[in-house]
Amino acid sequence: MALPTLTPEQRAEALAKAAEARKARSELLASIKSGKESIDSVLNRAKEDKTVGKTKVTQLLKAVPGLGAVKVAALLEQTGIDPDRRAAGLGERQREALINALK
């Protein structure tokens, strides 16, 4: 499948949109890391907030202080969540299991 040909204006617009999304995601992860936001509140708004919804659960969990790659992998395996799952793709039971496992 070939990529669509974009005009220079469309390309610039797409690049700006992507940069904005990366900035928003970076701010979200920084707020989790600093403790301003809890992982439960972030996961609970994943369906409404596009920035949260499109972020991988693994990335969100690694931003939690005290959780590294090994603990996150074990947590995801324990709760039965695919490591490539995005936050908006979590089911209600998966989200609850993840929040309860973090307590």
Write down the pLDDT at residue 52.
92
* Neighbour tally for 37: CB within 10 Å: 17
Write down the pLDDT at residue 27.
95
Contact between 49 and 81 (Cβ < 8 Å): no
Question: CA-based angle 56:61:65, to the nearest 5?
Answer: 150
- Angstrom distance (rounded) from CA 22 to CA 27: 9
Write down the pLDDT at residue 12.
95
pTM of the model: 0.84
